[in-house]
Amino acid sequence: MAALPAVPPGPPLVRLRGIGKRFGPVTVLRGVDLDIYGGEVLVLAGENGAGKSTLIKILGGVYTDFDGTLEIAGRVVRPRSPLEAAALGVAIIFQELSLVPTLSVADNIFLGRPLTRRGFVDTAAQRAAARRLLDQLGLDLDVDRRVEDLSLAEQQLTEIAKALARDARVIVMDEPTSALNAPEVEKLFGLIADLRARGCGVVYITHKMEEIERLADRICVLRDGEHVGTAPAAELPPARLVNWMVGRELGEQFPRHAARPGPERLRVENFSVWRGGRAVVAGVSLCVHAGEILGVAGLQGSGASDLFAGLFGAYGRAVGGRAWLDGQPLEIAGPRRAIDQGLAWLTNDRKATGLVLPLSVIANTTLADLPRLSPGGWRHPGREQAVTRELAATLALRAASLDLEVEALSGGNQQKVVLAKWLQTRPRVLLLDEPTRGIDVGAKREIYQLLNDLTARGLAILLITSELPELLALSDRIVVLHRGRLSAELTRGEATPEKVLAAAMGTA
């Protein structure tokens, strides 16, 4: 994308002035100013907990009680709901999608503003209009399919189509590539370029530096609820941007030490997993040693996540093959038994399978270790608070209170709570599936350092990450899966982006 001037020509589509927001005694935004112009991509950057999500929820009519003024198209407004914000030309695409799973793609695209005829929903007109819109966007989706039958990536693209169907002038995207594979990411970037060319203002939130470098015309940085600054992307090289975000120099991005593998910790031989009547993992053999990080690579649908789920007992006994933990047979009989034997599994969807959102930080952190923390079936709140406080300090968790409901935390801090939960179980083998998804650059480095500390203590880690530079930097060895089968095993010295991708695509 060609860079824009520091301030694009013409009046802004949206002007926010002196925006402040409090939740009880906690101030999360303080005097924030922001302008959004047509024909630009404005990246909203900052660490987890900086206030980005709160700011866009004010813009999108989710939070109506705030300080300051909001102008849209030169008029001071205060939208009382997302529907009112949409009527004003603002569409927010949140990480938590707002689709109705049991309705079709077409019904979801026109949700809240159906096409009608004589007072009744005109289903045929909606299907035709949805098909035209998807064709214009280059999206190959069946408009009659129910959303619950779509992949996460297809649901994300449906959400984008829904926003565009409302003729939005300002479109906010919060971590939109988190569930997309590489071709789908390219399709999304093409859509963003098209929106920019149409004169729309796109606000893009991401923690991925390569996306910021590729998309941003201007960058606005928040830190601790305050506006640090806004500048053209050309004036904010990565090092300066990180300094604005975290208020300090970070140094080396991947602080990985030389591996010192110890004895074999986990061995898997001829392991298979069946789901829906078919083998999603077929005859995989691998091993990982104490103090080692074994990267598990593969494209979407490769079976990598199913391998972790199978080992952890999430699919019950729908598995085959053998596994040993520290030389003893691993009994696969459900998650509780896996935890008792020393396995921990951080899933790739913290909201659906990692956390109980209405419960507190303390309750979530101690949830998987309650049998040990509550001997005899009696809860010990003081003990639970103490272990949570210690883990929160280790992980630099940012929460106003450990009694706060987890759903009130930023995405990155929610991820830290999931990590805390599994570390509390004192595992010997840690299965990490996308551990840095939705985490800012500063928090990522903290987690990288934590992985160093854990392996130094003899923990064995199996790691799945869709960020190839992260995989290559952190892994001591890499195994690659293609359609459920092992297609390559590479040492740290052998692994290159080209070799990993070729094996993942089955062309090695």
- For residue 94, what are its two tokens? 């949140």
Cα distance between residue 445 and residue 397, in whole Å: 14
Give the closest residue to 171 by CA, choosing from 60, 33, 264, 291: 60
Question: In this predicted model, which residue has the larger pLDDT, 329 or 208?
Answer: 329
pLDDT tens-digit map of 247-262: 755 555 676 666 678 9
Asked if pLDDT for residue 6 goes beyond 60, the answer is no
Asked if pLDDT for residue 68 goes beyond 60, the answer is yes
Say which DSSP state 351 is in: I
pLDDT tens-digit map of 97-113: 778 999 999 999 988 78
Cα distance between residue 282 and residue 432, in whole Å: 21
The four Cα atoms 73, 203, 43, 220 give a dihedral, to 10 degrees, of 40
Asked if pLDDT for residue 274 goes beyond 60, the answer is yes
pLDDT tens-digit map of 175-218: 888 767 777 788 888 889 988 998 999 999 987 888 999 999 99
Q: In this structure, are residues 473 and 462 in contact, taking their beta carbons and an 8 Å threshold?
A: no
In percent, the amount of the chain with pLDDT more than 70 equals 95
Contact partners, residue 45, CB within 8 Å, separation at least 6: 52, 205, 206, 212, 219, 220, 221, 222, 241, 244, 245
pLDDT at 252 (0 to 100): 59
Q: Highest-confidence range of 191-200, 265-274, 376-385, 496-505, by mean pLDDT?
A: 265-274
Give the closest residue to 345 by CA, choosing from 407, 430, 411: 430
Beta strands in 330-376, from DSSP E residues, in sequence order? 343-346
pLDDT at 257 (0 to 100): 62
Cα distance between residue 508 and residue 499, in whole Å: 7
Q: Which residue's entry shows tokens 């840690």?
A: 430
Q: 249 vs 188, 245, 409, CA distance in Å?
A: 32, 10, 25
- What backbone phi and psi angles, to 5 degrees, belong to 146? -75, 145
pLDDT level of residue 135 (50, 70, 90 thresholds): confident
The helix-helix angle for 381-394 and 411-424 (nearest 10°) equals 120
- Mean local confidence (pLDDT), 290-296: 96
In percent, the amount of the chain with pLDDT more than 90 equals 58
Q: How high is the mean pLDDT of the chain? A: 89
| Domains contained in the chain, CATH given | 14-246 (3.40.50.300), 264-342+427-504 (3.40.50.300), 358-423 (no CATH)
Neighbour order of strands in the sheet with 328-329: 278-289, 264-275, 319-325, 328-329
Q: 120 vs 117, 123, 364, CA distance in Å?
A: 5, 9, 46
- Mean local confidence (pLDDT), 112-131: 89
pLDDT level of residue 381 (50, 70, 90 thresholds): very high
pLDDT tens-digit map of 453-508: 999 999 999 999 988 888 999 999 999 999 999 999 999 999 998 899 889 888 76
- Mean local confidence (pLDDT), 109-127: 88
Residues 317-345 as b/e (b if ≥16 CB within 10 A, e otherwise) read ebbbbebebbeeebebeebeebbebbbbb
pLDDT at 124 (0 to 100): 93
Q: 134 vs 127, 131, 291, 342, 344, CA distance in Å?
A: 11, 5, 49, 48, 41
Say which DSSP state 394 is in: H
What's the angle, vertex CA 38, arms to CA 36 and CA 43, rounded to 5? 50
Q: In this structure, are residues 141 and 156 in contact, taking their beta carbons and an 8 Å threshold?
A: no
For the entire predicted model, the pTM comes to 0.69
pLDDT level of residue 5 (50, 70, 90 thresholds): very low
